[in-house]
């Protein structure tokens, strides 16, 4: 059985490909440019497992290639979406590929007789943001309030909404997974957005650590969540894939405990609000981060646990494995002897 995974150069999609290949599936991946896409690590996993992995060209901003990409696939995992490290000035640079690209993928899937289900990678950003009551544990029944959202969460809210509208209008079997902040090991020398704050703390590149919280999950567990959402015939609706609320300061402490004895200079000092406020006057990213300061991230993954049998490894493992992979792939230097 062939599964199409979109955007296989990405961090999450790479783990999805690995999950599929190691569980007996063949994979077709979409990339923007097959000539330059770094997928050698995925080809190596295919060779080890004896499964087929190939890539085809398709861009979320272009109709070309999507019909050919889905042809013959039994399932589509639509993972690709712009997830840049820096917040763009024009939100449309994220919103258009996210929304129009999702509709391109779903239209192609709906028209392909072989495709039985689409598993779509949304985010907890479509669930937890913009609510006045910060003490309530959010579930799949909640939607972020789109007004005033930053470009990335806005792109994810609008894309997931568009996906549901299309699926309902066209009778498409759509299952959505909503991961939290995805940590865990890199599979190649990339710098994905979700690992960047951890990488900078580990490398001592930030002077201090803001008091922000995240519902952390692991890329390997997110990939399992996609597979369970595909394999379970009763899977339907949205599934939050996210663990307990973890403060950045706690992540820094784990890194410090594990790696300071080896000579790494982990950033640990808490960043006071006034300092962030001052820096935020010229740094847009810090200015945007200010609105999330001191807020716990309260989400429930009970539905995925109960209905899909999804489980999650300890957050400490996701943090330590991420850090070890930074060193392995050279995105953080080893300490000088």
Residues forming the site for ligand NAP (CB under 6 A)? 7, 9-13, 32, 59-61, 79-83, 97, 101, 121, 123, 156, 179, 181-182, 192-194
Alpha helices, H only, the chain: 11-21, 40-49, 66-70, 92-111, 151-170, 193-202, 219-231, 248-259, 273-279, 284-290, 302-303, 315-328
Which residues are 176's β-sheet partners?
120, 238
Q: Is 35 exposed, middle or buried (CB count within 10 Å of its CB: 0-12, 13-18, 19+)?
A: exposed
Cβ nearer to ligand NAP, comparing 38 with 173: 38
Residue with Cβ nearer ligand NAP (7 or 185) = 7
User: In terms of CB distance, is 61 or 232 closer to ligand NAP?
Assistant: 61
Closest distance to ligand NAP from the beta carbon of 215 (Å): 10
Task: Give yes or no for a contact between 3 and 29, defined as CB atoms under 8 angstroms apart.
Answer: no
Least distance in Å: CB of 56 to ligand NAP? 11
Question: Which of residues 74 and 193 has its CB atom nearest to ligand NAP in the complex?
Answer: 193
For ligand NAP, which residue has the nearest CB?
Answer: 10
- Alpha-carbon span 276 to 248, nearest angstrom: 15
Which is the catalytic residue, given 116, 136, 156, 191? 156
**Strand, helix or coil at 79?**
coil
Residue 191 falls in the annotated catalytic set: no
Put residue 263 in one of left, alpha, beta given phi > 0 → left and psi -120 to 50 → alpha. left
Nearer to ligand NAP, 30 or 264 (CB): 30
Nearest to residue 153, comparing CAs of 134, 180, 126, 132?
126
Question: Within a 10 A sphere around the Cβ of 47, how many other Cβ atoms?
Answer: 11
Least Cα distance to 172 among 69, 103, 99 occurs for 103
- The C-alpha atoms of residue 267 and residue 208 are separated, in whole angstroms, by 6
Q: How far is the CB of 25 from ligand NAP (least distance, A)?
A: 19
Instruction: Work out the burial of residue 337: count CB atoms within 10 Å of its CB; fewer than 13 is exposed, 13-18 middle, 19 or more buried.
Output: exposed
- The span from the CA of 5 to the CA of 79, in Å, is 7
Cα 226 from Cα 120, distance rounded (Å): 8
Least distance CB 290 / ligand NAP (angstroms): 20
Nearer to ligand NAP, 59 or 71 (CB): 59
Min dist. Cβ of residue 116 to ligand NAP (A): 21
Least Å from the CB of residue 51 to ligand NAP = 20
Q: Which residues are catalytic?
A: 156
């Amino acid at each position: 059985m062939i599964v199409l995974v979109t955007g296989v150069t990405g961090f999450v999609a790479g783990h999805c490909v690995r999950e599929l290949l190691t569980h007996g599936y063949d994979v077709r991946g979409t990339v923007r440019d097959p000539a330059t896409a770094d997928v050698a690590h995925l080809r190596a996993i295919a060779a080890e497992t004896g499964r087929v992995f190939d890539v085809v060209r398709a861009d979320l901003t272009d109709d070309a290639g999507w019909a050919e990409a889905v042809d013959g696939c039994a399932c589509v995992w639509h993972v690709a979406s712009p997830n840049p490290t820096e917040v763009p000035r024009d939100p449309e640079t994220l919103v258009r590929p996210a929304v129009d690209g999702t509709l391109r993928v779903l239209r192609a899937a709906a028209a392909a007789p072989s495709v039985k289900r689409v598993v779509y990678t949304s985010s907890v950003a479509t669930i937890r943001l913009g609510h006045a009551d910060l003490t309530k544990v959010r579930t799949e029944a909640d939607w972020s309030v789109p007004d005033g959202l930053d470009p990335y969460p806005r792109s994810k809210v609008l894309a997931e909404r568009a996906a549901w509208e299309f699926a309902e209008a066209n009778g498409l079997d759509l299952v959505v997974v909503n991961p939290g902040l995805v940590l865990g090991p890199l599979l190649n020398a990339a710098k994905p957005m979700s690992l960047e704050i951890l990488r900078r703390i580990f490398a001592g590149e930030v002077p201090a650590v803001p008091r922000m919280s995240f519902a952390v999950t692991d890329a390997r567990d997110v990939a399992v969540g996609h597979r369970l959402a595909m394999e379970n015939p009763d899977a339907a609706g949205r599934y939050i894939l996210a663990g307990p609320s973890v403060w950045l300061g706690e992540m820094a402490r784990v890194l410090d405990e594990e790696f300071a004895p080896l000579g790494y200079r982990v950033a640990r000092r808490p960043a006071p609000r006034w300092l962030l406020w001052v820096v935020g006057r010229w740094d847009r990213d810090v200015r945007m981060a200010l609105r999330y300061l001191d807020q716990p991230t309260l989400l429930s993954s009970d539905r995925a646990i109960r209905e899909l049998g999804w489980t999650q490894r300890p957050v400490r493992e996701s943090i330590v494995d991420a850090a070890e992979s930074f060193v392995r792939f050279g995105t953080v230097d080893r300490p000088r002897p």
